[in-house]
Structure 1
Amino acid sequence: MTTPQQYQAPSADDFLMGGGVPSAKFPTIGHSVSGRITERPTVEQQRDYTTGDLKFWDDGKPQMQLVVTLATSERDPENPEDDGTRRLYVKGQMKNAVASAVRQAGARGLEVGGTLTVTYARDGQKTNPKFNAPKNFDAVYVAAAQNELHTPDPVAQPVAAPQPAAGIPSAVPGLTQEQLAAAMANPATAALLAQQQASGAVPQPATSDVPQF
């Protein structure tokens, strides 16, 4: 008979704060749990929901599950300290769905920084009248490296066009805007133009009082 895996004690923080990370819930068909993996996934033996006893297959082998910690957008309105962290217990048909998603992503396994999305897609075939039909899941995985490639760069803020300083003409007859801009880049030339404008040496662009039709 296979030796059962030892019980995995809670972390010091979980023990101190009186609880652990909430498990992901799938209350209805179509519900998804999605988030970035924040800790290296671990494998542990399953436990009976009612008694807490370790679970074994009929041949004595332990029933195992993969524990994945995700940073999700879910929040419990009754828990002001809920940061969205959820534990996903991958087993049964969900394990097959996640494994297929990892293969489709071209990855070798789940890794910190990757994004995993699991959806309660449909009910499976009910084989025991005492229990509900098993939940069937679909999964999508995006590897950490792929996440980095698709992380948008910060949006560049538009640079306002430089406005002419007070006393400096915005237009000079005989000079294009590019030539004027080049001339004003030189502080000495800009000061000279401002002085000439003040003395009336630089003619201003003509305006007309003739109405336009």
Structure 2
Amino acid sequence: MSTLQQPSADDFLMGGSTPSAKFPTIGTAVTGRITTKPTVEQQRDYTTGEPKFWDDGKPQMQLVVTLATNERDPAVQDDDGTRRLYVKGQMKNAVAQAVRAAGAPGLEAGGALTVQYTHDGEKTNPRFNAPKQFAAQYLPAAAAELHTPDPGPAAPAPAAPPAQAYNPAPVPPGVNPVTGEIGVQPPVGLTAEQYAAAAQNPATAPLLNQIPQQGGEPPF
């Protein structure tokens, strides 16, 4: 007796169906989180839609895995990235090997699965294309959660560089720090060191011209 995959409640309500994962060219990979527990259904003929059987009468089965992916197809209205992966043939062997390598008992909701079309196998029937060959990787749900990046708190803004202390360069005694003249004495009220510091400080240098050369008090 054949097994028919029942549509999801949303598909039935909205009259839509989940797009299939496609592997058009060698190197194409499909990656996503498994959204629901995978199910098993009987394969169907692409042309007639009739259920498929092996020569001994046993039904040809396939595993249906629903993935949440980052893929978006502009031809699909309201595409949310959900894809159905039909696991059969050599792909089944690749996925089973990936599950064993992960130390898991099987595929589970929340696990992360990647399947890649790696190359073509040997063409044995001239009426059909060479069989696609696949490789797979699997992370169980717990491990997939650990590998999901956590955005965390926003990074703090970089601190402003510390203010540079004002350290005027030394001026030799008897040298005017403004004009560079030699033998010029500082104005009355300022020592040579104070005059040199004031001349090299942008806040006080413009005021030096206001200081009388003889007598008076400095304006700062």
TM-score (norm 1): 0.72
Can you list the C-alpha shifts for 1:9-33, whole angstroms capped at 9, x where unaligned? Answer: 3233212322310111100000011
Deviation at 1:49, TM superposition (A): 0.6
Among 91, 94, 105, the alignment partner of 2:91 is 94
1:117 corresponds to 2:106:
no
Give the distance between the partners of 2:118 and 2:105, measured in 1 at CA.
Answer: 24
Among 134, 151, 156, the alignment partner of 2:153 is 156
Deviation at 1:142, TM superposition (A): 1.1
1:84 corresponds to 2:81:
yes
Provide closer, same or farther for how the CA distance between residues 5 and 80 of structure 1 changes in structure 2, counting only shifts above 3 A: closer
Provide closer, same or farther for how the CA distance between residues 156 and 25 of structure 1 changes in structure 2, counting only shifts above 3 A: same
Give the distance between the partners of 1:26 and 1:159, measured in 2 at CA.
Answer: 43
Among 41, 58, 62, the alignment partner of 1:61 is 58
Match of 1:141 in 2: 138
Among 98, 101, 123, the alignment partner of 1:104 is 101
Can you list the C-alpha shifts for 1:65-112, whole angstroms capped at 9, x where unaligned? Answer: 000000011111122400000000000000000000111111111111
**Secondary structure in 2 aligned to 1:24?**
coil
The 5 Å alignment of 1:160-199 reads none
Can you list the C-alpha shifts for 1:169-207, whole angstroms capped at 9, x where unaligned? Answer: xxxxxxxxxxxxxxxxxxxxxxxxxxxxxxxxxxxxxxx
1:32 corresponds to 2:21:
no
TM-score (norm 2): 0.69
Deviation at 1:158, TM superposition (A): 4.3
Larger Rg: 2
Give the distance between the partners of 1:28 and 1:160, measured in 2 at CA.
Answer: 45
1:211 corresponds to 2:211:
no
Give the distance between the partners of 1:103 and 1:69, measured in 2 at CA.
Answer: 20
Deviation at 1:5, TM superposition (A): 2.9
Among 11, 14, 17, the alignment partner of 2:11 is 14
Name the count of aligned residue pairs.
165
Give the distance between the partners of 2:104 and 2:54, measured in 1 at CA.
Answer: 30
Provide closer, same or farther for how the CA distance between residues 8 and 161 of structure 1 changes in structure 2, counting only shifts above 3 A: closer
